[in-house]
Amino acid sequence: MTDLERELAGRMARVQEEVAETARNCGRNPGDVTIVAVSKIHPAESIRALHASGQVDFGENYVQEALGKQETLADLDLRWHFIGGLQSNKAKFVAGQFALVHSVDSLKLAKMLDKKASELGVVQDILVQVNIAHEEQKSGIYEDNLFEMAEEVAGLENLHLVGLMTMPPFFDEPERARPVFARLRELRDSLEPRLDMKLPHLSMGMTGDFVPAVEEGATLVRIGTRIFGPRPYKK
């Protein structure tokens, strides 16, 4: 085991235990929470080193960076998650390349993903991103428009809607993010009977606030800094 593998494995183990303990303390099965290691900006060798300890779920924010890493690491069995903002003109590069796209925030984007997935002969799993706090600088559909969009997305043949994603405002106190996480769960619970389908996934919670996210029902937590350390600056 290399020094990097040892360092990342240790960090990952600590995060896994904290997520598992949080889940157990609120009566959840720890196995129902997947840690997505957010590897944006970090080099492919760090992903390879963490994979050596058994991690398979990795999250990327930038299309070209992610595709380059996928090519470099094609020999590994990884599940790639696209978690960043996605413009419609980049949808053609994303469809079929990621196990899950977390950040579908418009019907236009959904239709572009569906069109490309159809051309590839695949069904793309997606989450709808909801901007619960109405932050202008963040992506996501407002909840007033969620039901209408979700109904249309659910009807697209080559997309499979499996849940919702959100990013709360940044708070120094993680507990302040709890109402946002609770609201996403409430929206999911309201949406399931309306669509007559299960939406098993809630993608919410990052390094600073994953504890209340897990307590409120997160099934996917996106954790980067706690695992990989501070991100290097992009050149």
Question: Is residue 197 pLDDT above 50, yes or no?
Answer: yes
Mean pLDDT in residue range 192-201:
98
Q: What is the pLDDT of residues 69-118, one digit of tens each?
A: 999 999 999 999 999 999 999 999 999 999 999 999 999 999 999 999 99
Cβ-contact 70, 101 below 8 angstroms: no
Give the pLDDT confidence of 132-167 residue by residue, as tens digits: 988 787 889 999 999 999 999 999 999 999 999 999
Architecture of the domain defined by 3-224:
Alpha-Beta Barrel (3.20)
Q: What is the pTM assigned to this prediction?
A: 0.96
**110-131 pLDDT, tens per residue?**
999 999 999 999 999 999 999 9
% of the chain surpassing 90 pLDDT: 92
Whether 166 and 205 have beta carbons less than 8 Å apart is answered as no
